[in-house]
A and B are shown apart, each in its own frame.
Chain A
Amino acid sequence: MVPDPDAALMLAFQRGDPSAFRTLYQRHARAMVAFCHHFVRDSARAEELAQDVFVKLYRAGHRYTPRARFKTFLYRVAANHCLNEVRRGEYGAREREDRDGPSDPDRIASPAPSPEEAAEGAALERAVRGLLARLPEKQRAALVLCRFEGMSYEEIAQVLETTVPAVKSLVHRATVTAAEALAPGGAARMEEALP
C-alpha cells in the first residue's frame, strides 16, 4: 500500500500524540463539512455532523487499523453517519420542501440569453437539492462521492463497502435521474411520477 501520511497520523494519535489528531482534523474538517452539506443542505447541521464524525474518530482511535487509506475510512464513517441522519426522517419535511419548492430547473437547461452567474448557480443548487432529496440513499451517496468529491468508482466502492460494478450502476442510475431532473420540465414530470 502507498504510504498514507494521514494513516500515520492516526497511528501516532493512537500512541498518545494528540497533536496528530489535531493535524488530521485541520486537514479534513472543511472537506467533511462540505461533504455533510451535500446530504443535509443545512450549514449549521453540516458543521455538527462533521464534528460528530471527528468525535467518532477520536473515540475509535484506539481500535483503528489502517486497512484502507485514511480518506476512505473517513468518508466511510461520514457517509454512514450522514445516511443515518437522513434516515431518521428529521429532514423529511425539508426534503419535501425542496421537492415542492420554487425550484426551476428549466432555467438551467434553457439557453437563457444573458443569465447572471449567481442566479444560475442558485437555481442549479435548488434543482440539485431537489434531486438529492429524491434519490435513494445509496444512489445519493454514490452521486455525492463521484460528482462532488471526485472519487473514482474504486474509491466509492471502498467507502460504500460494495463492488465496483454496483457503484457503476448506482452512479449511472443517479446520473440518469439527474438528467431527467435538470432537463426542461423535468422537475414537473418527476413530481407527477412520485407516489
Chain B
Amino acid sequence: MTCVREDLTALLDGALPPARREAVNRHLEGCGACRAERDRLAATLAALSRLPEPPEPSPGFDARLAARIARERRPGLLSRLAGLRWTVAAPAAGLAAAAVVATVAIRERRLADEAVAANLEFLADYEIAASLGDVETAEDAAVVLALDQLAR
C-alpha cells in the first residue's frame, strides 16, 4: 500500500469500511509520515470541535418568522407581481410609479395635472387593489415604489 492519505480523514471520522480501515491501520503502523499526517488532521478536528456555537437567534426572530409565514397565507401584491412577465411588468411599473406620484399630488396638493389625467384608469385600479387589502404592508408599498427599478 503506497498511499493512505486520502483515507485519513474518513478513518478519523469512522467512515471507512472495516476492511479498508484495517488496511489503513496496518499501513500506519509502519509509516511515520502517514501517522504524522493522521495526527495533524486529528488535531485539526479537535480544534474545529472547540469552535464556539453560533449565536442564538435574536429575541424577535420567532415573531418575524411567524409574520412572514402569516403573510404567505394570503397571496398579496408581492407574489402576484412575482408571477408577472416582464413584458407586462415593465409598462405596469411605469404606470404604477406614475400612479403613486399622482396619488401624492392629489392628496397633498389637490392639483389635477395632465399626468394624473393620463393615468386615471390605472390609478382607479390601484386604489381598488389597495381597498381590497393588497397594499397594506410596508413591503407591498416598497414594491410599488420600486416598480420602475424592477422593470429594468
Contact yes or no, A30 B57, CB < 8 A: yes
Nearest chain-A residue to B50 (Cβ)?
A124
Nearest chain-B residue to A18 (Cβ)?
B73
Instruction: Output the residue of A43, A44, A59 with the most chain B CB within 10 A.
Output: A43
Known: A51-B65, A168-B10. A175 touches B44 (CB 8 A): yes
Instruction: Output the residue of B43, B61, B64, B65 with the most chain A CB within 10 A.
Output: B65
- Measured in the bound complex, the distance between the Cα atoms of B71 and A59 in whole Å is 11
Instruction: Output the residue of A54, A125, A172 with the most chain B CB within 10 A.
Output: A172
Interface size for chain B: under 10, 10 to 19, 20 to 34, or 35 or more residues? 20 to 34
Contact yes or no, B55 A153, CB < 8 A: no
Nearest chain-B residue to A181 (Cβ)?
B44
Contact yes or no, B68 A51, CB < 8 A: yes
Within 8 A of A (CB), among B65-80: 65-66, 68-69, 72-73
A-side contacts of B6, CB under 8 Å: 168-169, 172
Interface of A is mostly: helix
- Determine which of A18, A38, A172 lies in contact with B10 in the assembled complex, contact meaning CB atoms within 8 Å: A172
**Which residue numbers of B lie inside 8 Å of A, CB to CB?**
6, 8-10, 13, 15, 40-41, 43-45, 47-58, 61-62, 64-66, 68-69, 72-73
26 A–B pairs (Cβ distance < 8 Å), ordered by A: A21-B69, A26-B62, A30-B57, A34-B53, A43-B54, A46-B54, A47-B58, A51-B68, A54-B68, A109-B47, A120-B50, A121-B50, A121-B52, A122-B52, A124-B52, A125-B51, A128-B51, A146-B13, A147-B49, A148-B48, A153-B10, A153-B13, A168-B10, A172-B8, A172-B10, A175-B41
